[in-house]
Structure 1
Amino acid sequence: MQPTTYNGVPAGQLPVTWQKSSFSNPSGNCVELAQLPGGGVAMRNSRDPEGPALIYTPAEIEAFILGARDGEFDHLAL
């Protein structure tokens, strides 16, 4: 039985393959993403792999990625 997918579902319960950015640092401070069955995207903190996952629609992820590519979030990077 697959878990119900909702914001805050324990990330370790999702039947997905997590992907970490190649830009992640060696201390493990990064965000991981996974494609969900049905097209959504889950996001988790790599330092807490069993912690809560945030669930996004494909349109939400597309808007975020396009904004990041365009530099809209550059001011948040240290």
Structure 2
Amino acid sequence: MNQLHNGMSATLLDGVVWRKSHFSNPSGNCVELAVLPGGGVAIRNSRDPEGPALIYTRRELDAFVRGVKGGDFDDLIV
């Protein structure tokens, strides 16, 4: 696997398994996540699977998920 960095093409993340929430829109409007070797997490837009991936540590993703569960981003929901 190439050196990991934010914005790299998701196609360069060989061997990862992408998954999305069961709450996802059937038309494909969602994000997908994949666990990376070494424990990081990649996130991509499901409508652009060959586009850029954002790379996060588990601690960064944990902070985000706890914020979502805690309602920190509720004002962003349309």
Q: Which amino acid aligns with 2:64?
A: F
1:1-78 equivalence runs, <5 A: 2-15=1-14, 16-78=16-78
Aligned residue for 1:75, secondary structure, equals helix
Question: Residues 8-61 of structure 1, C-alpha deviation per residue, up to 9 Å, x if partnerless?
Answer: 111012021001111110111000011110011100000000000000111110
Q: Taking structure 1 as the reference length, what is the TM-score of the superposition?
A: 0.93
Q: Taking structure 2 as the reference length, what is the TM-score of the superposition?
A: 0.93
Q: Which amino acid aligns with 1:75?
A: D
In structure 2, distance between residues paired with 1:32 and 1:14: 13
Q: Which amino acid aligns with 1:76?
A: L
Instruction: Name segments (4+ residues, structure 1) moved above 2 Å.
Output: none
In structure 2, distance between residues paired with 1:8 and 1:39: 18
Q: Give structure 1 stretches of 5+ with no counterpart.
A: none
In structure 1, distance between residues paired with 2:69 and 2:9: 29
